[in-house]
A = this chain, B = another copy of it.
Amino acid sequence: MVKPESGPNQGLNMADVQNQFDSRRIKIDQVGVKKIHYPINVKDRANGSQRTVASVNMYVELPHHHKGTHMSRFIEVLSVHRHSITTSTIPSILSDMKARLQAEAAHLELTFPFFMEKAAPVTGAMSLMEYTCALVGTQTGEETDLSVSVCVPITTLCPCSREISDYGAHNQRGEVTVKVRYKQFFWMEDLIRLVESSASSEVYSLLKRADEKLVTERAYDNPRFVEDVVREVAVKLMAEENFTWFSVAAENFESIHNHSAYAFLEYTRPDGPHAEEGPLNGQ
Q: Which of B4, B31, B37 contacts A263 (CB 8 A)?
A: B31
Task: State the number of copies, please.
Answer: 4
Q: Which of B129, B153, B215, B257 contacts A204 (CB 8 A)?
A: B257
Q: Which 9 A-B pairs have the closest CB atoms?
A: A168-B220, A2-B7, A34-B262, A34-B260, A165-B216, A36-B259, A153-B258, A31-B263, A30-B264
Instruction: List residues of A (199-249) whose CB comes within 8 Å of B's CBs.
Output: 201, 203-210, 212-213, 215-217, 219-220, 225-228, 230-231, 234-235
Q: Can you report 22 residue pairs joining A to B where beta carbons are below 8 Å apart?
A: A1-B162, A1-B165, A6-B166, A17-B159, A28-B227, A28-B231, A29-B279, A31-B262, A33-B262, A39-B51, A67-B225, A68-B228, A157-B168, A165-B220, A167-B217, A170-B219, A171-B255, A203-B254, A203-B257, A204-B256, A215-B256, A253-B253
State A28–B253 Cα separation when bound (angstroms): 19
Number of interface residues, chain A, beta carbon within 8 A: 117
A75: chain B residues within 8 A (beta carbon)? 127, 205-206
Residue of B nearest to A17 (CB): B160
Secondary structure class of chain A's binding surface, majority of residues:
mixed
User: Is there a chain B Cβ closer than 8 Å to A59's Cβ?
Assistant: yes
Interface flags for A47-73 (1: CB within 8 Å of B; 0: not) read 000011100010100101001110110
Residue of B nearest to A247 (CB): B29
A17: chain B residues within 8 A (beta carbon)? 159-160, 163-164
User: Is there a chain B Cβ closer than 8 Å to A275's Cβ?
Assistant: no
User: Is there a chain B Cβ closer than 8 Å to A276's Cβ?
Assistant: no
Q: Are A230 and B28 in contact (CB under 8 A)?
A: yes
Residue of B nearest to A210 (CB): B11
User: Is there a chain B Cβ closer than 8 Å to A27's Cβ?
Assistant: yes
A161: chain B residues within 8 A (beta carbon)? 212-213, 216
User: Is there a chain B Cβ closer than 8 Å to A155's Cβ?
Assistant: yes
State A227–B68 Cα separation when bound (angstroms): 6
How distant is A154 from chain B, measured CB to nearest CB, in Å? 9
